[in-house]
Chain A
């Protein structure tokens, strides 16, 4: 059974760094063809893809976030991470991680992040 769960700070201040963790089970990020993606959704709005990381440590980012993103993984502990530097109120959203093979087939429940002074 594939499950994913996101965790994060809940609230942080502008200019801080947002650190998110995706803890998963039921698959391994060392398996050929496996990936994990991060997606976010401001309240009441649509979905935005942020980044993904693959079994071979290939990483891809959405350039709209202008080099503020860093994605990484800990294969031994079945975790993937996303850091967003220099956050702003526009980064307030629910952040999801999802397993990616031919699609984003399993999603976590999401974690709400609020950026506020």
Chain B
């Protein structure tokens, strides 16, 4: 199975500052069809996860441009600029290039 290693486990950020989350996969996520099936999700307290970024760097419809995804191969990053109160929650990366599909273990973002 592809292991998705997310760091840090938790992150405390002041309002208005930037947050950065890393996700590393144990195998390249480049699919034979040329796509990199790496996505990012935010699970706010008491809610279902919501998609932020798909195909490593594409922002989902309606997602604030403060969220950006980058990376390729095995190394990916989610950046949140100008952190706001509604950004708190747990962030997960997810790969669906290789079966079985796997999630990272999550990064909890707290607001200082």
Stretch at the interface among A11-19, A56-64, A70-78, A81-89: A56-64
Question: When the two chains form their complex, are residues A103 and B51 in contact, meaning their CB atoms are under 8 A apart?
Answer: yes
Question: When the two chains form their complex, are residues A46 and B103 in contact, meaning their CB atoms are under 8 A apart?
Answer: yes
Candidate in B51, B102, B105 with the most chain A CB atoms within 10 angstroms: B51
* Nearest chain B CB to A15 CB, angstrom units: 25
Residues of B within 8 A of A46 (CB): 92, 103-106
Chain B interface, >50% SS class:
loop
A37 to B101, CA, bound (A): 10
User: Of A49, A105, A107, A109, which one neighbours B102 at CB under 8 angstroms?
Assistant: A49
For chain A, the count of residues having a C-beta within 8 Å of the partner chain is 22
Residues of B within 8 A of A106 (CB): 51
Question: When the two chains form their complex, are residues A107 and B49 in contact, meaning their CB atoms are under 8 A apart?
Answer: yes
Residues of B within 8 A of A47 (CB): 43, 49, 92, 94, 103, 106
Name B60's closest neighbour in chain A (CB-CB).
Answer: A105
Residues of A within 8 A of B54 (CB): 102-103, 105
* Nearest chain A CB to B20 CB, angstrom units: 20
Name A105's closest neighbour in chain B (CB-CB).
Answer: B51
Residues of B within 8 A of A102 (CB): 35, 37, 39, 54-55, 58
Name B41's closest neighbour in chain A (CB-CB).
Answer: A104
Residues of A within 8 A of B94 (CB): 47, 49, 103-104
Question: When the two chains form their complex, are residues B60 and A103 in contact, meaning their CB atoms are under 8 A apart?
Answer: yes
Question: When the two chains form their complex, are residues B100 and A64 in contact, meaning their CB atoms are under 8 A apart?
Answer: yes
A-B residue pairs, 4 tightest by C-beta: A103-B54, A103-B39, A49-B101, A107-B48
